[in-house]
Amino acid sequence: MRLQGKSAIVTGAGSGIGKATAQRFAAEGAMVICAGLSKADNQATVAEIQAAGGRAEAIEADISRDEDVANLVTRAIAAVERVDILINNAGQAVIGTVEEVSSEDWDRQLDVNLKSIYRTSKAIWPHFKAQGGGIILNTASIAGLIGTPGQVSYGVSKAGAVMITKCMALDGAKDNIRVNCVCPGWVPTPMVDYHMSQLDDPGAFQARIERLHPLGLGETQHIAAGFLFLASDEARWITGIALPIDGGLTCGLVAD
């Protein structure tokens, strides 16, 4: 098992990429703290992990609130004594152009997708320093690497996730704190389902997205596998990268 004896906090663990990552980490031997807004979803993930023979605990937390983040980190450390890995995965998608996105939605988007990474990382940083190191992994997106129409606030938030990863990697290196992020392509998640529901012609969009991925559309398990590698000892000389896991989407133009 690649994470035997390790412990991890996974935010947004109630569904999608976060759930798949929590399950994969537990299957690889980690004790997983499943954190998120929905108590029911967190507990459902924990129940599935435990039914499969893994170890997990649920902690309800709103990562847009400083006090919730502080409580999450304090409770997690109390529960497992040593937290080795933090997965900043919680997020949301606001659809719209710069003309369409409201000021309130813009602020909320950057708060949930970007400032939350700052909050959780700041809260756990002293713990990582004191124990001689730790790993922070962030969920960015291909939308943080290339422009995407109709996703101005989402793209900006994910580009910020890439850059905060690089800056924290430099700051953390002297204390053996490794920081990386993954940039998923389109995989089936509740966030993607929401995006599709806002479109006039979801079927046409689905067909277009499928064509843009040379290897076809992926699954949440593919993203979890990327997180697993970056959290493992095999990646101990890797920090500051933004790893696309996108079926080749960001390679370049795809012929119709």
Catalytic sites, residue numbers = 154
What are the residues whose beta carbons fall under 8 Å from the beta carbon of 67, sequence distance 6 or more? none
**HSE toward the beta carbon, residue 4, CA cutoff 13 A:** 2
Q: Look at residues 109, 110, 136, 108 and name the one whose alpha carbon lies nearest to residue 121.
A: 136
Instruction: Supply the DSSP symbol for 59.
Output: E
Q: Look at residues 73, 105, 67 and name the one whose alpha carbon lies nearest to residue 88.
A: 73
Scan for tokens 């493992």, then name that residue: 232
Instruction: Supply the DSSP symbol for 253.
Output: -
Question: CA-to-CA distance for 178 and 137, rounded, in angstroms?
Answer: 8
What b-and-e string marks burial along 125-147, b requiring 16 or more CB atoms within 10 Å of the CB? bebbeeeeebbbbbbbbbbbbee
Two tokens, residue 228? 């697993």
